[in-house]
């Protein structure tokens, strides 16, 4: 039998059944109006926060998808993309030449990309020394063979020899002696690629200039396309990827000949070269291989301003000796004379010297004439039948011509004695083998062949470079 409820129990039961809103006891048991409003708002806020978070999540997800789409779009889209290349397994060298890049040009304007290579690499502090004559073809071929012109055979940009004539379009192997780097690389069982370089189109030894990796010279191809092609090699399977690549730009040599080394056109050309180096660097970074690849940025020679005021005319030597036009193989900045058979070169030199020193030949003191065997040994320009028997060294910025003319011309030239500072060019090495922010003394460009073979750890061919030179410029333990 249930126990009867007490008064307190009855009161609670009554309140629960019929609450009195004015009773304080009831207020303790039931939420107030304010409390009910607050709770309702709290629920609304929670719902709003949830909706906002949901929207943010959707937007973030969509953005991430869109960004990923942009990153991985095709190579012709022009959009930023991450192109992770296959890992670098073998040491890899990109040899970049900026034709006519006189040492000091890099200080004419802002060059942030070249500066970056310098700051994080090794630089020839006072420039690299070209071989004599300081011309494009002899120097480019010396860089890749380690040989002086008298050894590799390309003694000038053009010259007659025997019943034939060498020109910059001559690709017969008979002209190109020595073993260039692309041949050395393939001889060692590796792959090389050349995007323009004097001699690279010549099929000799085990190098057959493969169409996919050897570009035939075409100056109309934009610099950007050249850079992008070199970058595309890093997308190849590791077994097909070149470990040695060349990249060539005609500037600023093109502008230097027209306007000399101090014109605003030169500044614009240097800015363009810097942009191309930036394009190369950024492309390698996108592929994740920049720090693993070695970049060697070089030039082939310098440039000096010339004007008609600094001319020497061979016709002014007539009182002492006639120098017919057909004796002369080149006038400036390298005077080369090959007299016909039966005429003594030594007698020709003696009479020319007499006239030049007489004080009666305008600017005669600025031309020194030698039998080739008597040239200064430092020029390494004697021991080749291709070199004519008489060579004239012209003072910096002067020119030799056959006859007096009224032509007015001021521009730029190179080809002079490589002892002139104006003929120096640049060297910057960046990569795993080079110390950061290091300056090294000037050196001859024939040292680069051994440097590259040491970086690639391959056997090179005999050359005129110093075998121990790589140890003076590369970090210990990074080469062999």
Catalytic site residues? Answer: 136
Rounded distance, CA 28 to CA 397, Å? 107
β-strands 122-124, 427-430 pairing: antiparallel
Query: Which stretches does DSSP call E strand in 138-268?
Result: 159-161, 164-166, 192-195, 214-215, 244-249
Q: What are the beta bridge partners of residue 306?
A: 411
Rounded distance, CA 59 to CA 68, Å? 14
Could you tell me if 285 and 116 are in contact, meaning their C-beta atoms sit under 8 angstroms apart? Answer: no
Could you tell me if 108 and 114 are in contact, meaning their C-beta atoms sit under 8 angstroms apart? Answer: no
Q: Which residues contact 76 (CB under 8 A, 6 or more apart)?
A: none
Could you tell me if 458 and 184 are in contact, meaning their C-beta atoms sit under 8 angstroms apart? Answer: yes
Please tell me whether residue 348 adopts helix, strand or coil conformation. helix
Alpha helices in 393-465 (DSSP H): 448-456
Q: Which residue has the tokens 């200080």?
A: 107
Could you tell me if 438 and 474 are in contact, meaning their C-beta atoms sit under 8 angstroms apart? Answer: no
Token couple for 273: 């070269």
Alpha helices in 200-263 (DSSP H): 223-232, 253-259
195 sits in the region (left: phi over 0; alpha: psi -120 to 50; else beta) called: beta
- Measuring CA to CA, which residue among 470, 395, 387 is closest to residue 429? 470
First to last CA, the chain: 107
Q: Please give the backbone phi and psi of residue 127, each rounded to the nearest 5 degrees, phi first.
A: 90, 165
Q: Please give the backbone phi and psi of residue 175, each rounded to the nearest 5 degrees, phi first.
A: -80, -35
Could you tell me if 152 and 176 are in contact, meaning their C-beta atoms sit under 8 angstroms apart? Answer: yes
Could you tell me if 451 and 184 are in contact, meaning their C-beta atoms sit under 8 angstroms apart? Answer: no
Please tell me whether residue 5 adopts helix, strand or coil conformation. coil
């Amino acid at each position: 039998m249930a126990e009867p409820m007490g008064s307190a129990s009855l009161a609670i039961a009554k309140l629960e059944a019929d609450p009195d809103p004015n009773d304080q006891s009831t207020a303790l048991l039931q939420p107030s109006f304010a409390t009910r409003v607050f709770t309702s708002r709290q629920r609304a806020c929670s719902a709003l926060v949830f909706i906002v978070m949901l929207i943010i999540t959707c937007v973030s997800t969509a953005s991430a998808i869109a960004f990923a789409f942009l990153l991985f779009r095709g190579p012709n889209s022009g959009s930023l993309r991450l192109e992770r290349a296959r890992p670098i397994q073998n040491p890899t060298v990109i040899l970049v030449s900026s034709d006519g890049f006189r040492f000091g040009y890099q200080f004419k304007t802002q060059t942030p990309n070249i500066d970056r290579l310098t700051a994080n690499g090794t630089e020839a502090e006072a420039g690299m020394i070209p071989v004599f004559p300081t011309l494009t073809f002899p120097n480019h071929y010396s860089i890749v063979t380690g040989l002086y012109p008298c050894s590799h055979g390309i003694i000038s940009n053009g010259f007659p020899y025997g019943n034939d004539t060498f020109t910059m379009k001559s690709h017969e192997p008979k002209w190109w002696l020595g073993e260039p780097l692309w041949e050395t690389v393939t001889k060692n069982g590796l792959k090389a690629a050349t995007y323009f370089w004097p001699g690279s189109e010549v099929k000799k030894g085990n190098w057959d200039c493969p169409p996919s990796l050897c570009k035939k010279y075409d100056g109309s191809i934009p610099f950007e396309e050249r850079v992008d092609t070199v970058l595309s090699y890093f997308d190849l399977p590791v077994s097909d990827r070149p470990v040695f690549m060349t990249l060539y730009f005609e500037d600023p040599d093109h502008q230097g000949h027209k306007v000399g080394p101090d014109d605003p056109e030169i500044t614009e050309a240097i800015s363009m070269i810097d942009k191309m180096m930036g394009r190369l660097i950024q492309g390698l970074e996108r592929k994740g291989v920049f720090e693993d690849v070695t970049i060697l940025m070089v030039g082939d020679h310098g440039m000096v301003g010339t004007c008609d005021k600094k001319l020497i005319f061979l016709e002014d030597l007539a009182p002492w000796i006639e120098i017919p036009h057909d004796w002369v193989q080149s006038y400036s900045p390298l005077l080369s004379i090959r007299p016909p058979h039966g005429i003594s070169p030594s007698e020709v030199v003696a009479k020319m010297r007499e006239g030049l020193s007489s004080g009666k030949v305008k600017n005669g003191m600025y031309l020194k004439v030698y039998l080739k065997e008597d040239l200064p040994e430092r020029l390494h320009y004697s021991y080749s039948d291709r070199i004519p028997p008489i060579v004239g060294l012209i003072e910096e910025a002067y020119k030799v011509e056959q006859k007096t003319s009224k032509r007015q011309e001021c521009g730029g030239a190179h080809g002079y004695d490589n002892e002139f500072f104006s003929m120096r060019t640049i060297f910057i090495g960046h990569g795993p083998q080079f110390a950061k922010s290091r300056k090294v003394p000037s050196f001859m460009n024939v040292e680069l062949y051994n440097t590259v073979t040491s970086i690639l750890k391959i056997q090179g061919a005999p050359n005129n470079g110093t075998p121990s030179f790589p140890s003076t410029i590369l970090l210990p333990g990074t080469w062999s």
